Amino acid sequence: MLVVVSGNAFAADALVSAPVAYDWTGAYVGAQIGYGWGDVDSHDSEIGSGFSDWSDSWKSNGVLGGIHLGYNQAFDSYVLGVEGDIEGSGASGSVDSVFAGTIKTKIDVQGSLRARLGYAMGPALLYATGGLAVAHFHTNYDDGATTDSTSNTKAGWTVGAGVEYAFSPKWTTRVEYRYSDFGTFTDNPATDSGFNYPTDVKTQAVRVGFSYKF
């Protein structure tokens, strides 16, 4: 009798603790919102000689949000996928430079096209992601007497990780962290026309999102 009772209890525990199966294969679409923070590094470079007598770094922070779409293919517990997203961004920052005046940088729009590799534990998916990142930058220069503005679109790379959870057969929620490096763009502002201003932008962001699986 004790053996039968113990066996039944063990079976019940196994049923309770076993992860619920979930089919991660399929296309999905969703939306995300988050907060980004980053570093902007710039210096002046005299046209012709390359001489530099100024450099500085400043922060660029703000809310971002947009939509994403992708496709997953499950191979037992492993999930391989591809995902693209596009976001509006409010990330901006400024610095008072010595020669070009106040420099204000802003990311207007950004997006990415990434691979995803994950490990599924029932309705939970732990994943890493990485690939192409693109952003559009708007920069203002103002020295009080002269103003100038520039627009640049730069492609770089992004890498990150996240956890996604299926709370119904069609809906999932996620939390994700990503680091992005957009490379260097170069301006020649009217506020300091004899110099170029190469500028590097690197960002980090945390996003939360929801997806609908078809």
pLDDT score of 70: 98
Q: Dihedral angle at the C-alpha atoms of 42, 48, 53, 54, nearest 10 degrees?
A: -20
Contact 24, 74 (CB under 8 A): yes
Query: Where exactly are the structural domains of the chain?
Result: 23-213
pLDDT score of 21: 81
pLDDT score of 61: 97
DSSP 123: T
Task: Give the pLDDT of the chain (214 residues) as one tens digit per residue.
Answer: 334 444 554 444 444 445 568 999 999 999 999 999 999 999 999 999 999 999 999 999 999 999 999 999 999 999 999 999 999 999 999 999 999 999 999 999 999 999 999 999 999 999 999 999 999 999 999 999 999 999 999 999 999 999 999 999 999 999 999 999 999 999 999 999 999 999 999 999 999 999 999 9
* CA–CA dist 50, 171 (Å, integer): 55
CATH topology of domain 23-213: Lipocalin (2.40.128)
* CA–CA dist 129, 123 (Å, integer): 19
Tell me if residue 144 falls in helix, strand or coil. coil
Collect all residues with Cβ–Cβ distance below 8 Å to 142 and sequence separation of at least 6: 101, 102, 104, 148, 191
